[in-house]
Amino acid sequence: MDEPVITQKKPYKLEMQPGVYFWCACGRSQNQPFCDGSHRGTGFSPVRVEVTEQQLVAWCGCRRSAKGPHCDGTHKKLAD
C-alpha cells in the first residue's frame, strides 16, 4: 500500500475534549478519523495527537494534508 485511502474529500470537523487521540494515517479504519488498528501490515502508523483543551478540530479526511492529521485544504485540489 503506497498511498493512504481517501475516506472523504473534506475534513472531519469534531468537537474534541482534552485527551490523546490517534489519527488514522492509512485510511482503512472503520472508526474514522481515528485508528482502529487496520493499518497493520500496510507500512502506515497512526499519528498521536494531544488535545489540551476543548476545541473544534478539522481532522484530515483525504490523507494528503501537509499538516498531517489536521486539514489544510488540500482536498480541494484533488481530482474527482
- Reported pTM: 0.94
Instruction: Report yes or no: 49 and 20 within 8 Å, Cβ to Cβ.
Output: yes
Residue 3 lies in a domain: no
Separation in Å, CA 40 to CA 13, 36, 76, 78: 26, 10, 29, 26
Residue 71 lies in a domain: yes
pLDDT mean by block of 10 residues, the chain; 80 residues = 91 98 98 97 96 98 97 93
Measured CA to CA, the distance from residue 3 to residue 77 in angstroms comes to 16
Residue 32 lies in a domain: yes
Residue 38 lies in a domain: yes
Determine the 3-state secondary structure of 77 from DSSP. Answer: helix
The C-alpha cell at 66 is 501537509
As for how many domains the chain has, the answer is: 1
Which residue range(s) make up the domain with 17?
12-77
Q: What pLDDT, on the 0 to 100 scale, is given for residue 1? A: 59
Residue 72 lies in a domain: yes
Residue 6 lies in a domain: no
